[in-house]
Amino acid sequence: MNEDLAEELGDIHKLMVKAIYVVLALHVLGALKHHFFDKDEVLHRMLPLFRNPRG
């Protein structure tokens, strides 16, 4: 019984890791879209350590 539970939890863990990677990738792609295509200040607001070159 414990081995079955461990296997099931391991599968759930792997699925959640993949889901986090997908969400992270979408977040990064969205930030880059704002920076390169929309040319707005979203990326600069997300990364306050970098100075805004436009102002």
Domain boundaries, the chain: 19-55
Q: Is 55 helix (H, G, I), strand (E, B) or coil?
A: coil
Say what the pLDDT of residue 52 is.
Answer: 58
* Model pLDDT, residue 53: 58
Q: What is the pLDDT of residue 54?
A: 59
Predicted local confidence at residue 29, as pLDDT: 95
Q: What is the DSSP letter of 50?
A: S
Per-residue pLDDT of the chain (55 residues; tens, 9 = 90+): 799 999 999 999 999 999 999 999 999 999 899 989 999 988 888 887 766 555 5
Buried b (16+ CB within 10 A) or exposed e, 15-43: eeeeeeeeeeeeeeeeeeebbeeeeeeeb
Q: Which residues of 5-14 are buried (b: 16+ CB within 10 A; e: fewer)?
A: eeeeeeeeee
**The Cα angle at residue 20 between residues 33 and 5, in degrees rounded to 5:** 165
pTM over 0.75: no
